[in-house]
Amino acid sequence: MSNREDLIQLAITDLKSGAFTSQRKAAAKYKIPRSTLASRLAGSSAARAGH
């Protein structure tokens, strides 16, 4: 798993645990695109996993 992927997973974990109440704040904290975070929460997989 890459460092970016780790950050995405941390953001998802924090959102699900209630540490963050908005995707925007979680994305900003971990410096990842909000659209990527939203896509992952909607169920899409990492691009590398698809190849």
Helix (H) or strand (E) segment spanning residue 23: helix 23-30
Instruction: Give me the pLDDT at residue 44, please.
Output: 86
| pLDDT score at 46 | 78
pTM of the full predicted structure?
Answer: 0.83
Q: pLDDT per residue over 1-51, tens digit each?
A: 579 999 999 999 999 999 999 999 999 999 999 999 999 999 888 777 765
In order of their start, the domains of the chain are 3-43 (1.10.10)
Which string of DSSP letters, residue by residue, matches 5-49?
HHHHHHHHHHHHHTS-S-HHHHHHHHT--HHHHHHHHTTPPPHHH
pLDDT at 22: 95
Question: How is residue 22 written in tokens?
Answer: 């908005």
